[in-house]
Structure 1
Amino acid sequence: MLYHLLYPLHSTFIGFNVFRYITFRCICGAVTAFAIMIIFGPMFIRAMKRLQIGQVVRDDGPETHLAKRGVPTMGGILILFSISVATLLWANLTNPLIWLILFTMLFYGIIGGLDDYRKVSRKSSAGLSAKGKLVLQVAGAMVVGLFIFIHPGYDGQLSLPFFKDIQPDLGWFYIVFAVVVIVGASNAVNLTDGLDGLAAGPTVVSAAVYLVFSYLAGHVVLAEYLQIPYVQGSGELAIFCGALFGGCLGFLWFNAYPAQVFMGDVGSLSLGGALGAIAIIIKQEFLLAIVGGIFVMEALSVIMQVGYFKMTHGKRIFLMAPFHHHFEKKGWHEPKVVVRFWIVSIILGLFAIATLKLR
């Protein structure tokens, strides 16, 4: 919005020419989203307490988590608000990719919000049915996959890190692949959101990495030089990534141990869905498995645990899944688990950026 209002004035005052630069607007988007979180965070927390919208804790989880019962939840609403406002203020709103990514984030936010509402209203850990939630997630991802596949300049080719000459073409099956990536990312972040700050930290790192890749993918010269797919208009997604970075960083201010608020499914499902959609849009799908390695590890730990439990009729690989609970059961304090997962996430993020030259 500010881009459309102020940039046309550059012919009158040269200072407004700064609004043409994605880097400037990206930083402004990050700062705006962060400021919204810091300013409105305390008011949101007080409102959630007043409405008695608190965390529901399962009885079969770690005993230390019982203290989290009643802590305000659904903080993802404020995250989505901050990201949306910052993006709308600083992005070029004539770019359809901006509207696509906002649609994805908000659609998955609605799914998570419905799930959270049912949990809170019932005072139970049972929200939407797994089948119902999955159907809605697939429907939203199908919209993204179809849009991308029929959008001019896109095709069914995959971009593989480390292999510049290998680009398999999936054809129409790419839509199915897009659904798997987006739904998988959404649920992986949701599974990770089990400790104070655990989901928000790696999301900050992932947003920063995809900010870089979005900007490069939208710059024809840099994309050609680095031998990554050029996606026209994707540079504007760097502004969304900046807002995602700032919003999650601001949320960590209140979500760090001991958490004053949790993001809930409205936050985790939407943030994961947004990361998956960005990966699809800029044709860096497999990069998400690297930069989002923490999310992948958490999801795989659940799949392995459930599969092994059924195969062996009751035996377990981990003391408890998702993976972060395994370390809690081993006696690690929650802050130690979270910070070490953040460290691993940062290392993976740096490695993901290094793939730009490993092709």
Structure 2
Amino acid sequence: MLTWLADFSHLFGPLNLFRYITFRAGGATATALFFVFFFGPRTIAALRLKQGKGQPIRTDGPQSHLLTKKGTPTMGGLMILSGLIFSTLLWANLASRYVWIVLLVMIGFGLIGFYDDYLKVTKQTHNGFSGRLRLGLEAAIALVACYAMTVVGPAHATALALPAINGYVVDLGIFYLVFGAFVIIGAGNAVNLTDGLDGLAIVPVMIAAAAFGIIAYLAGNAIFSAYLGINFVPGAGELAVVCGAMIGAGLGFLWFNAPPAQIFMGDTGSLALGGLLGTIAVAVKHEIVLAIVGGLFVLEALSVIVQVASFKLTGKRVFRMAPIHHHFEQLGWSEPQVVVRFWIIAFVLALIGLSTLKLR
């Protein structure tokens, strides 16, 4: 929205700053941070009043959780999404269709997560609404988003790119819609599974957002993309502003989510932020890199898949508890140890993912 101020730069030179994505990304980060920080206490108080007993805690998990986390309100994702949306609308160039597509996916996934959280809180159970219905709604949103991105995207919008290889590898045609939707749905649910300890999910999300903010900026710039040998995606640079807003909103939320958490993100936030990351990865044609940058989320999701498959096939569990962060708790790691060590892993994976930009 504020990009229009650049039109008056002939009257006041510094207004020319609003033309630059880097400046607006920084502004979006600061705005989202202060928005969440300012409205956070009121949101927490309102959710605590409405929810009463708060999010139900797993009885089969570490017993310390029952004592320290019981009664903590959930749906904290509302704080993150509100700050992110407000900041993006303020600082991004709203002429970019990519901005609207990723925001709509985030809102759609957020609504699904919100309804799931609502059912869990009101019924005081871990079971939300039907898993098949939930996946069906996610698939519908993701497919529409992928179709929209193929319409507004580059000439090879349905082609697949691989790290360390110049250009596109193979054009998937209409099957790209299924592939792209799988990336978005997978990212959403992987982040959702990671959100199990205070601060565990939000910091890796911010790290991934920072990595993809850089990738979006470079992929949207014809000069930088040509120099690095990555695929040029016109208009994708504006997604760096969205990533900046995600980082700022995440920092604001972390203030209240730091141990001991005053509020949980809930499915409202984790599903929406994961879906947002997945959509950005599809938009900038770095879907495979997302599996590297978001490797921690992939590990968490795989641990659940392996655990369920093993138990159904053999009656035995591979991990003491899934997702895998609970496995390490059962091994004797304290919650802060698990969280900080997983943050380190997420940071290292982000650096590896960014290094692929020059491996061409």
Return the TM-score normalized by structure 2: 0.97
Offset from partner CA, 1:119-140 (integer Å, 9 cap, x none): 1111111111111110110011
Matches for 1:165-314 after TM superposition, within 5 Å? 167-312=169-314, 314=315
**Partner Cα distance (1:144, 1:334) in 2:** 37
User: AA paired with 2:357?
Assistant: L
User: AA paired with 2:46?
Assistant: A
Partner residue in 2 for 1:115: 116
Offset from partner CA, 1:209-232 (integer Å, 9 cap, x none): 000000001100100110111000
User: AA paired with 2:160?
Assistant: L
Offset from partner CA, 1:157-183 (integer Å, 9 cap, x none): 111112225612111100000111000
Q: Residue 10 of structure 1: CA displacement? A: 1.1
118-127 or 56-65, which deviates more: 56-65
Does 1:40 find its partner at 2:23? Answer: no
**Partner Cα distance (1:141, 1:296) in 2:** 19
**Partner Cα distance (2:195, 2:110) in 1:** 15
**Partner Cα distance (2:181, 2:153) in 1:** 20
Identity over the aligned pairs, expressed in percent? Answer: 52
Closer, same or farther: CA 342–229 of 1 in aligned 2, 3 Å: same
User: AA paired with 2:244?
Assistant: G
**Partner Cα distance (1:13, 1:110) in 2:** 42
**Partner Cα distance (1:218, 1:34) in 2:** 25
Closer, same or farther: CA 320–205 of 1 in aligned 2, 3 Å: same
Aligned length: 357
Is contact 2:202–2:254 with CA below 8 Å preserved after alignment? Answer: yes
User: AA paired with 1:212?
Assistant: I
**Partner Cα distance (1:225, 1:165) in 2:** 13
Q: Secondary structure at the match of 2:9?
A: helix
Offset from partner CA, 1:56-89 (integer Å, 9 cap, x none): 1122222122121210110000100000000000
Partner residue in 1 for 2:58: 58
Partner residue in 1 for 2:318: 317
In angstroms, what is the RMSD of aligned CA positions?
A: 1.1
Q: Secondary structure at the match of 1:229?
A: coil
User: AA paired with 1:345?
Assistant: A
The 4+ residue runs of structure 1 with deviation greater than 3 A are: none
Offset from partner CA, 1:261-287 (integer Å, 9 cap, x none): 101000000000000000000000001
Q: Residue 356 of structure 1: CA displacement? A: 1.2
Structure 1 stretches of 5 or more lacking a match? Answer: none
**Partner Cα distance (1:256, 1:167) in 2:** 43
**Partner Cα distance (1:165, 1:217) in 2:** 12
Q: Secondary structure at the match of 1:321?
A: coil
Is contact 1:149–1:174 with CA below 8 Å preserved after alignment? Answer: no
Q: Secondary structure at the match of 1:286?
A: helix
Is contact 1:141–1:182 with CA below 8 Å preserved after alignment? Answer: yes
Does 1:24 find its partner at 2:26? Answer: no
Is contact 1:35–1:250 with CA below 8 Å preserved after alignment? Answer: yes
Partner residue in 1 for 2:7: 8
